[in-house]
């Protein structure tokens, strides 16, 4: 597949349990040329950015990546610091371990995925809009976004990175938790940009712009 000269070619990993259509449509809406991929051979040299979305349980997401042979592809892509975006489970999969089903993650970043505690007044799962506190305001993923912008969340578990330098943004829901991470050209969000209206499209546009520069 050949993208337009001014269009980033972005591959979205189809794990079989992800919200593939909504992520694909959001990326297309910001001008990206999108490929859905299920195997390493589908990620050609034309691909400039890689997105790993997901909904549901982490063991199914990691199991799908293992079965398809995409684990090494994802690890290699991130190791080479190519533009990468994980969404929801795609963020949780990057860490070493999850309390959800006692699942081993990809171990790309040190840290774990833990369940929300239940302080008085909050419901689990965390579902709905919440505001961000930005930790890396200069991040290329956050261009045009502001402190206090709201994004849409649906999750019962959240990431606890071992390295504070990874934290791109935080939220408060019965206590502070990591809402997004970033290192080099590798990013991930616990929230769903594709469900977050104009601000979410801005984030996808920023990722597409970063991917286009990877040409």
Q: Is residue 22 part of a domain?
A: yes
pLDDT score of 5: 53
User: Does residue 187 sit within a domain?
Assistant: yes
Q: What are phi and psi of 10, to 5 degrees?
A: -120, 130
Residue 4 lies in a domain: no
CATH number, domain of 66, equals: 3.40.50.880
Query: Residue 42: inside a domain, yes or no?
Result: yes
Q: For the segment 175-215, what is each residue's pLDDT rounded down to a tens digit?
A: 999 999 999 999 999 999 999 999 999 999 999 999 998 76
76 domain residue, yes or no: yes
| pLDDT tens per residue, range 137-180 | 899 999 999 999 999 999 999 999 999 999 999 999 989 999 99
Q: What is the pTM of this model?
A: 0.94
Encode pLDDT of 110-133 as tens digits.
999 999 987 667 889 999 999 999
Q: DSSP characters for 83-108?
A: -EEEETHHHHTTSSEETTTTEE---S
Question: What's the CA gap between 52 and 188, in Å, rounded?
Answer: 9
Range of 108's domain? 9-212
Is 2 part of any domain?
no
Q: What is the pLDDT of residues 30-82, one digit of tens each?
A: 999 999 999 999 999 999 999 999 877 788 888 889 999 999 999 999 999 99
1 in a domain, yes or no? no
Put the strands of the sheet holding 9-13 in their side by side order: 33-37, 9-13, 49-52, 84-87, 186-189, 176-183, 167-172, 133-134
Q: What is the pLDDT of residue 177?
A: 96
- When divided into structural domains, the chain yields a total of 1
Residue 41 lies in a domain: yes
Catalytic sites, residue numbers: 88, 192, 194
pLDDT score for 55: 77
């Amino acid at each position: 597949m050949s993208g337009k000269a001014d269009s980033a070619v972005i591959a979205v990993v189809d794990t079989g349990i992800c919200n593939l259509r909504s992520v694909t449509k959001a990326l297309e809406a910001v001008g990206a040329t999108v490929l859905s991929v299920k195997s390493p051979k589908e990620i050609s040299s034309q691909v400039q950015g890689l997105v790993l979305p997901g909904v549901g349980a982490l063991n199914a997401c990691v199991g799908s990546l293992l079965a398809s042979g995409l684990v090494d592809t994802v690890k290699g892509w991130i190791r080479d610091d190519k533009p990468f975006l994980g969404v929801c489970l795609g963020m949780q999969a990057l860490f070493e371990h999850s309390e959800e089903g006692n699942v081993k993650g990809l171990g790309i970043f040190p840290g774990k995925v833990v369940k929300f505690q239940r302080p008085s007044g909050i419901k689990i799962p965390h579902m709905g809009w919440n505001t961000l506190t930005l930790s890396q305001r200069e991040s290329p993923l956050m261009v045009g976004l502001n402190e206090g912008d709201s994004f849409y969340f649906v999750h019962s578990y959240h990431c606890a990175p071992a390295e504070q330098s990874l934290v791109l943004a935080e939220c408060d829901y019965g206590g502070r938790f990591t809402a997004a991470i970033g290192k080099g050209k590798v990013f991930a969000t616990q929230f769903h940009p594709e469900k977050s209206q104009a601000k979410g499209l801005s984030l996808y546009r920023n990722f597409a712009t970063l991917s286009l520069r990877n040409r």
